[in-house]
Amino acid sequence: MTNSTDTKLYTDDLTEAQITAIELQLRPQKTSASGFLNQSERLKDVIEADARTLNDLNITHKQVSDRLESLIGQALRNATLGRRTDGIPPYKTLKDGILIDKIFKVSGGSWMGYQNCPLPNNQGNCPEQGSYDFKILNETSVEEIQFPQLMSHLIRDHQFFEGHTQYRLDPTDAVRILGLKTGIDYTPLKESEECWFEGSYTNSLDNKIGRDIIYAERYVYLGLGVKFYFQGNKGVTVSREPVRFTEPLSVHGVKLDLCQGKIPAGKLMFKKEKREYISGDKSQFNGSRAAETTKQNSFEGKE
């Protein structure tokens, strides 16, 4: 059967023998317990049928994938920012659900271990993986979709919504519940932020954690009896008491990613790195951009 849509499909370039070999891995009890295909369906049939469905709805694979990625990305960003102000761990905020774009309640949970993409690409094994399951509830229509973290990738790069298994995302449901419109660009907007992120911790000032950084004697005084020693992209706070700063802190213009401004007694390690996050997508004018804190205390180092 030939592909009746304009979209180039994952299976178009594969031989019958290659498809058969891939299908063996997609059956239940192979790479995943529930499988990516049921016992009898064919990969090419599933991919082509879903492509025709999207074609009839005038929606592209990219639109579905972009919107999933954007909503999940915004939820993760909100959960990360929430920890800074309300102290709630991101996994817990995500478990309870976060409202994005006023109507989409995004929730998710991770399970032990990672699921690898089971579909090889032309370089061999596909490197994509995921460890979360997500749910997006449209609070207006009170309908929801559920899917594994890998879904956005499966749709974007393999045009695959999974077969008729537990984890399939029905494309008609996805388009309706996500409210996708023909011709709208949902490309996620990516930004990055450099921060000092928290690492290991010890309540003992005698513990060897961070000792080399402290010996180097390069530090800033953050106030409230707390010194921040740093060397390259590593830092460590030293405090005799647990303290709480009411204003955000930064060192050399780089923000400290603290939970409610708290620094514990003892030594807390930090690593300076730039992390990418999704702030919205091109379909949103003002978006549901996570509010960023602008006011902060900044310290320059003592050399």
Question: Which residues sit at the interface with Zn ion, rule CB under 5 A?
Answer: 117, 119, 126, 128
Closer residue to Zn ion in complex, CB, 125/296 = 125
Beta-carbon contacts of 96 under 8 Å, excluding residues fewer than 6 positions away, are 107
Least distance (Å) between residue 243 CB and Zn ion: 47
172-188: string of b/e by CB count within 10 Å (b at 16+)? Answer: eebbebbebeeeeebeb
3 state DSSP class of 231: strand
Q: At its nearest, how many Å lie between Zn ion and the CB of residue 127? A: 8
Our CB check for Zn ion shows the closer of 10 and 219 to be 10
Q: Nearest distance from residue 67's CB to Zn ion, in Å?
A: 19
Query: Which residue number, 94 or 126, has a Cβ lying nearer to Zn ion?
Result: 126
CA distance 16 to 72: 35
Of 10 and 196, which CB lies nearer to Zn ion in the complex structure? 10
d(CA 96, CA 112): 19
Nearer to Zn ion, 126 or 137 (CB): 126
Specify the residue, 128 or 198, whose C-beta has the smaller distance to Zn ion.
Answer: 128
In 3D space, the residue among 107, 118, 188, 199 whose CA is nearest the CA of residue 151 turns out to be 118
Minimum distance of Zn ion from residue 158's CB (angstroms): 6
CA distance 71 to 74: 5
Q: With DSSP H G I counted as helix, E B as strand and the rest as coil, what are the percentages for the chain, rounded to 5? A: 25, 30, 40
In angstroms, what is the minimal distance from the CB of 115 to Zn ion? Answer: 11
Is 134:108 a contact under the CB 8 Å cutoff? yes
Supply the minimum distance, in Å, between the C-beta of residue 46 and Zn ion: 15
